[in-house]
Amino acid sequence: MTKRMIIAALALGGVGLATYLAMYKLGMIGTIACGTGGCETVQMSKWATFLGLPVAVWGVFFYVALFLVALLGTMERWVDAPWVSHALLGLTGWGVVFSAWLTYLELYVINAICRFCVVSAILVAVTFLVSVFEWRARPRVAES
How many residues does the structure list for the chain? 144
Q: Give whichever of 97 and 133 is closer to other proteins, judged by the CB atom.
A: 133
53 strand-pairing partners: 50
User: What type of residue is 126?
Assistant: V
Q: Give whichever of 28 and 53 is closer to other proteins, judged by the CB atom.
A: 28
CB of 20 to other proteins, least distance (A): 5
Report the alpha-carbon distance of residue 123 to residue 144 in Å, rounded.
39
Report the alpha-carbon distance of residue 9 to residue 123 in Å, rounded.
11
CB of 52 to other proteins, least distance (A): 20
Q: Give whichever of 7 and 91 is closer to other proteins, judged by the CB atom.
A: 7
For binding to other proteins (CB under 8 A), which residues are involved? 1-2, 5, 8-9, 12-13, 15-17, 19-20, 23, 28-37, 40-41, 43-44, 74-76, 79-80, 111-112, 136-144
Q: Greatest CA span in the chain, whole angstroms? A: 61
CB of 5 to other proteins, least distance (A): 5
CB of 56 to other proteins, least distance (A): 13
Q: Which residues neighbour 96 within 8 Å (Cβ) at sequence distance 6 or greater?
A: 124, 125, 128
